[in-house]
Copies of this chain bind each other. A is one copy, B any other.
């Protein structure tokens, strides 16, 4: 069966401020040494399984030009512009109707646009297996991440180790972000995987699920489907999409549906959640520093310093993150790098919207 991919790239990606801005979210930034942006890496990664003409990008309409610039090989009609953000369910529905319009049925791989994978070969092998399970029946397949520490910032998915189908297991339940004790027990249990937001299913399967579990959304999606390829396409989307229920696919469908399978992914996944992650991902020098740009360091260790044009000089720093841009410089600790949203909140509060 034809394989297609929907890459979800509508996020605001604020946690990489000041490099990320309202007009340039994380997925359009390069956070790796190879200079490729997150979304470019995502498209490249799936290319052994899916032809470029079958890759769809769902994004906010404000980012359409960025997508065109960064992914010139993607057909323009595959860039699906959400008039407003409505969480993952409507986003996936929009992708599904476009695929359904093009093919009678097809396998649909759904991927976030801002995660990193260390081992692309294992990634592809895992998704080939996932595609097989999805093709075999009306199965919803997700790829979970084998946890290696008790992370409290992700949701978990529990599977039934005794109920195997191919390389996948039957999902027992989705669970919310746990507290530390619970996370530790999940890790010990061994049948809990991190919910990564990566899915595989047949288009026919997911649309059936919309019909069953999110019927009003399904109705809207069908109206949108009818307009695809017509002169009314944009107008209908602008009118219908904002009325779709803002809901995650996890809550709206996955937690209610049956025949859900999960494959453990052990391909070196990183959701690059904050500048802290850049210290893990990019090449460290002999002092454990990641240093780029116009930078002079003295007695500085285990820091991330992303310079720009202006000279950044550091003395005696440990575990500090410095990110310079043309108009703003961030200085934070690795430990606090995840709290950047508080800066953005203060900037909004103080009317300094030009920095957002």
Contact = CB atoms under 8 A, between A and B. Distances in A.
Contact-size category for A: 35 or more
Interface stretch (A113-121, A171-179, A245-253, A344-352): A344-352
Interface stretch (A99-107, A126-134, A228-236, A321-329): A321-329
B336 A316 contact: yes
Given A311-B355, A329-B329, A316 B335 contact: yes
B332 A314 contact: yes
A161 interface: no
A317 B339 contact: no
Interface in A330-344: 330-333, 335-337, 339-340, 342-343
Contacts of A283: none
B343 A315 contact: yes
Copies in the complex: 2
B299 A314 contact: no
A316 B328 contact: no
A340 B299 CA distance: 11
Given A339-B299, A346-B296, A350-B296, A333 B313 contact: no
Contacts of A336: 299, 315-317
Contact of A314 (B311, B314, B331, B335): B331
Nearest to A331: B314
Interface in A293-325: 296, 298-299, 310-317, 320, 322, 324
A352 B310 CA distance: 12
B343 A328 contact: no
Nearest to A322: B331
A18 interface: yes
25 contacts: A296-B350, A296-B352, A298-B346, A299-B339, A310-B327, A310-B329, A311-B327, A311-B329, A311-B352, A311-B355, A312-B329, A312-B331, A313-B328, A313-B330, A313-B343, A315-B333, A315-B336, A315-B339, A316-B333, A316-B335, A317-B332, A320-B320, A322-B331, A324-B329, A329-B329
